[in-house]
Amino acid sequence: MTSTAPIDFDALLAMFGGDRQITATLLATFAEELSADIVAAEQALNQQDTEALRRIAHRIKGTSANLQATLLSAAARELEQACSETTEGVRVVKHRVMLDQAQSVRDAIEAWSMAG
């Protein structure tokens, strides 16, 4: 698996002793929560609620890191930092990057689930 893959499925499977069913269930839950967080992040951005946006980015950062989605975790970390340190324009850009990574992760989960 390359470092640019949305999720390191091999590492994730290894964390759960190779149990594909547990991994698939966890990924399905993560994908649902991620979709809800993306909607909430969009609302927070539109309402200029930087604290809510920061909290959502923080949650996505941690969860995605735990599930071997390192690019999404990094994008969420940058958005989280941008909520404290930068202007709205930078937050909008960081938000877009996080959305793109989230979509890549959701696509990868779907493809992996169908391949199983």
**Residue 25 and residue 13: Cα distance in Å, rounded?**
12
Kindly state whether residue 32 falls inside one of the protein's structural domains. yes
* Mean pLDDT, residues 7-27: 95
Question: Does residue 1 lie in a domain region?
Answer: no
Q: What is the CATH number of the domain that holds 35?
A: 1.20.120
Number of structural domains (the chain) is: 1
**Which residues lie closer than 8 Å to 99 by C-beta, 6 or more apart?**
38, 41
At 40-74, the pLDDT tens digits run: 999 999 999 999 999 999 999 999 999 999 999 99
∠ CA 38-60-22, nearest 5°, is 105
Domain assignment of residue 61, given as a range = 9-115
pLDDT at residue 42, as a whole number: 95
* Band of pLDDT at residue 1, cut at 50, 70 and 90: very low
pTM as predicted? 0.91
Q: Which structure tokens are listed for 72? A: 């999404």
